[in-house]
Amino acid sequence: RGASDEGRGLILISLDAARGDRISALGYPRPTTPNIDRLVAGGLSFTNALVQCPASGPGHATMLSGLPPLAHQVLHNADVLDPAVITVAERLEAAGFSTAGFANNFYIDGRYGFSQGFQTWVNQYRATAVAGWHPHHLLRATTAYQVFHRLSREPGAKNRDSLDGALSWLGTRPPG
C-alpha cells in the first residue's frame, strides 16, 4: 500500500437473497434494518443494481471478479471458480491490504474457489457442527434440506457468528 492508502479499506457486505423492499434504508416504512441504515447514512449504497445471475455462486463470482458469468464460468451453484480468474481479494492482497472473508452460505465456500485472495477465510455454514436438535424440528420440516437446517442451528445464529468473526478480525488490524 502506498502512503495515500493509509487508513483506507473496503468492506463488502452481501445479503444473499435479501429483499431490498424490506430494508428500511431503501424505503421500507418499518425500521427493519437499523444497522444497515446507519451504514447507508455514512457510506455509499447502490439503489439500482442489477444481478448477473440470481443464484448465489454465480452472483458472488461476478461480484468478486467483476466478470459476467460466461467469462468466469460459474454458471450454477457448486461450479468452481477457476483459480486463473482474478478476484478483488487477490488484487487487494497484491496491493498490500489484509484480506478476510466471512461467509454463511453453502455455495460461497473455499471449495468452490471463493476463498481466493483471502488471507483469512471462514464459512460458518460449514464450520458449525450439527447441534441442539430436538425431535420437533423433524416434525416441522417437510424436506431433507429443511431437516438439515432445523437440526444445524437456530435461524440467524450462524449469521451472528459470521459477524462476530468479522468484527473480531477487524479488531486485530493495526490502526491507520
Is residue 6 very low, low, confident or very high in pLDDT (cuts 50, 70, 90)? low
Amino acid letter for position 16 = D
Cell of 81: 471458480
Q: Rounded to 10 degrees, what is the CA torsion of 52, 100, 89, 7?
A: 110
pLDDT on residue 131: 46
Q: Which helix (H) or strand (E) element contains residue 103?
A: strand 100-103
Residue with cell 461480484: 63
Cell of 157: 445464529
pLDDT on residue 114: 95
Average pLDDT over residues 25-49: 84
H helical segments located in the chain: 34-42, 56-65, 69-72, 88-94, 124-127, 135-140, 144-152, 157-171
Average pLDDT over residues 41-59: 83
Q: How does pLDDT run across 55-95, given as a tens digit for each residue? A: 999 999 999 999 999 999 999 999 999 999 999 999 999 99
Residue with cell 483459480: 83
Residue 91, number of CB atoms within 10 A of its CB: 14
Average confidence score pLDDT of the chain = 79
Is residue 33 very low, low, confident or very high in pLDDT (cuts 50, 70, 90)? confident
- pLDDT(148) > 90: no
d(CA 176, CA 167): 17
Q: How does pLDDT run across 84-139, given as a tens digit for each residue? A: 999 999 999 999 998 999 888 888 899 999 999 999 998 877 544 444 444 444 44
The answer to whether 86 and 106 have CB atoms below 8 angstroms apart is no
Q: Which of 81-90, 145-154, 159-168 has the lowest mean pLDDT?
A: 145-154
